[in-house]
Amino acid sequence: MRLLVVGKLSGQLSTAVKMAMSAGAKVSHVETIEAATHALRAGQGADLLMVDYDLDIAGLIAANQIERIHVPVVACGIAADPLRAAAAIRAGAKEFIPLPPEATLIAAVLAAVSDDNRPMVVRDPNMQLVIDLADQVAASDASILITGESGVGKEVVARYVHQKSRRANRPFISVNCAAIPENLLESELFGHEKGAFTGALARRIGKFEEATGGTLLLDEISEMDHRLQAKLLRAVQEREIDRVGGAKPVKIDIRILATSNRDLVQAVKDGTFREDLLYRLNVVNLRLPPLRERPGDVVAMAEFFVKKYAAANGMAEKPLSSEAKRRLIAHRWPGNVRELENAMHRAVLLAPNAEIDETAIRLPDGQPLAPADPHARTAQAASVAAETATRGFVGQTVSQMEQQLILGTLEHCFGNRTHAANILGISIRTLRNKLKEYTEAGVSVPAPQMGQSAA
């Protein structure tokens, strides 16, 4: 994380800076709020500002907003005057750190305010295949398109790729293309010169230049205006940009990642996304499966979020009950990881007993998760297993692929022919004929297990 410290470096503030660096922050320093805004405008970049509460924090935030610079502020001060600390919070600071500092407090505040504290939690084979591919391509400078439903963790994977790349010690800059108004996005990405338009009071370095040497993530790229896509295409192809109002191009050295929760091939057909830009961005595609297709990750992630929010709320960490785990795995999670995280945050706050049971895990409308259906779990597991199996079919004949898919699905349905046929999308008669062929050829066919019907 990049930390910009604003204020005179007295002994206590210097100590806080050293602690922040020990916690992994990359620290730079200016003494005045004017210098802070100038540094940010010039492309120095920061993920967090730590500002002496004797300075005009409201003025700093207002000046940054005029420049459309949105960086969270943490106030700090000696003696911890409660009135001045409260005034700093009212002025827009997210947190207050009293000086002299405590190392644990510094680390906790940095983790809470920044968005870097999102480690990769992977247990499911489906997701592990994606991570294995990410590991293969991370060291290159190839553009990567990360796709998947909303909430599956696309930005987490993008950060993972950056951390595994040769640019890991350089900036990681993320731009949400859906959150910035169309008329402002061009300036946000490419920067502008003084006087380029009304309100352009000084030169502003855009995200492309801010990411120099590092990685630029274009989040939800499908929301970008078609006209701006042409300018982006040139930047990707030529590795140079034009600031708004600029007289000459500016060379850039960045790696570009992009995410989308939409089908960009269909967007090309609809005329809302440029086909040539898609080819440039989609050198490698990392398609993240929704949480319902990676049940092996559900409990591991739930336990991670329990630990996270127990610590954040100063509460004892509680284990998940067996029934809670079953219901978590059985739920479809339409909001994916984001929904799971919110549910576990609520569960930490609502669990009255020594463990988090199923009654504490509630949906956004307050309803508990539905009881787990054994047949639904069987079908889900078989469906996921079948999808995983298909990824290993390269190099086999169609007949071999079909046999492996049928037998693998049947095994995961505990030998139940009806469930297997439903998942495979074939009639029970067709399935039985195939199984008869396999048996006559000496191939072992899974028999129904105890409690399961062969019907």
Encode pLDDT of 407-433 as tens digits: 888 876 778 888 788 777 788 888 888
CB 329 within 8 A of CB 300: no
Task: Summarize pLDDT for 236-270 with one digit per residue, the tens.
Answer: 999 999 888 887 889 999 999 999 999 999 999 99
pLDDT for 104 beyond 80: no
Reported as a pLDDT band with limits 50, 70 and 90, residue 113 is: low
Distance (Å, rounded) from C-alpha 107 to C-alpha 117? 11
pLDDT of residue 285: 93
pLDDT for 47 beyond 70: yes
pLDDT for 7 beyond 50: yes
Distance (Å, rounded) from C-alpha 386 to C-alpha 400? 14
Reported as a pLDDT band with limits 50, 70 and 90, residue 188 is: confident
Distance (Å, rounded) from C-alpha 277 to C-alpha 263? 14
Higher pLDDT, 102 or 345: 345
Distance (Å, rounded) from C-alpha 204 to C-alpha 220? 23
Higher pLDDT, 113 or 435: 435
Distance (Å, rounded) from C-alpha 407 to C-alpha 415? 9
pLDDT of residue 81: 74
Reported as a pLDDT band with limits 50, 70 and 90, residue 109 is: confident
Q: Considering the chain, what is the average pLDDT of its residues? A: 84
Angle 417-424/428-440 helices, nearest 10 degrees?
110
- First-to-last CA distance in the chain? 58
How confident is the model over 44-55, as a mean pLDDT? 85
pLDDT for 145 beyond 90: yes
Task: Summarize pLDDT for 197-217 with one digit per residue, the tens.
Answer: 766 767 788 899 989 999 999
Q: How many CB atoms lie within 10 A of CB 135?
A: 12
Strands (E), 194-303: 215-219, 240-241, 250-251, 255-260, 284-287
pLDDT of residue 372: 67
Task: Summarize pLDDT for 261-314 with one digit per residue, the tens.
Answer: 999 999 999 999 999 999 999 999 999 999 999 999 999 999 999 998 888 788
Long-range contacts of 449-455 (CB under 8 A, 24+ apart): 449/414, 449/415, 451/414, 452/413, 452/414, 452/415, 452/416, 453/416, 453/418, 454/415, 454/416, 454/417, 455/416, 455/417, 455/418, 455/428
pLDDT for 364 beyond 60: yes
Q: Is 364 exposed, middle or buried (0-12, 13-18, 19+ CB in 10 A)?
A: exposed
Distance (Å, rounded) from C-alpha 328 to C-alpha 361? 9
How confident is the model over 4-17, as a mean pLDDT? 81
How confident is the model over 164-178, as a mean pLDDT? 91
Distance (Å, rounded) from C-alpha 71 to C-alpha 68? 10
CA angle, corner 325, sides to 323 and 326, nearest 5?
65
pLDDT of residue 338: 92
pLDDT for 343 beyond 80: yes
Name residue 321's amino acid.
Answer: S
Structure tokens at 56: 């005009």
pLDDT of residue 205: 82
pLDDT of residue 248: 87
pLDDT for 120 beyond 60: yes
% the chain with pLDDT above 90? 40
Task: Summarize pLDDT for 379-409 with one digit per residue, the tens.
Answer: 455 545 444 444 445 556 777 778 888 888 8
Reported as a pLDDT band with limits 50, 70 and 90, residue 13 is: confident
CA angle, corner 245, sides to 239 and 247, nearest 5?
65
pLDDT of residue 450: 47
Distance (Å, rounded) from C-alpha 322 to C-alpha 328? 10
How confident is the model over 36-47, as a mean pLDDT? 82
Q: Is 192 exposed, middle or buried (0-12, 13-18, 19+ CB in 10 A)?
A: buried
Distance (Å, rounded) from C-alpha 366 to C-alpha 387? 33
Reported as a pLDDT band with limits 50, 70 and 90, residue 112 is: low
Reported as a pLDDT band with limits 50, 70 and 90, residue 111 is: low
pLDDT of residue 455: 54
Instruction: Kindly report which listed range (108-117, 232-241, 336-345, 357-366) carries the lowest average pLDDT score.
Output: 108-117
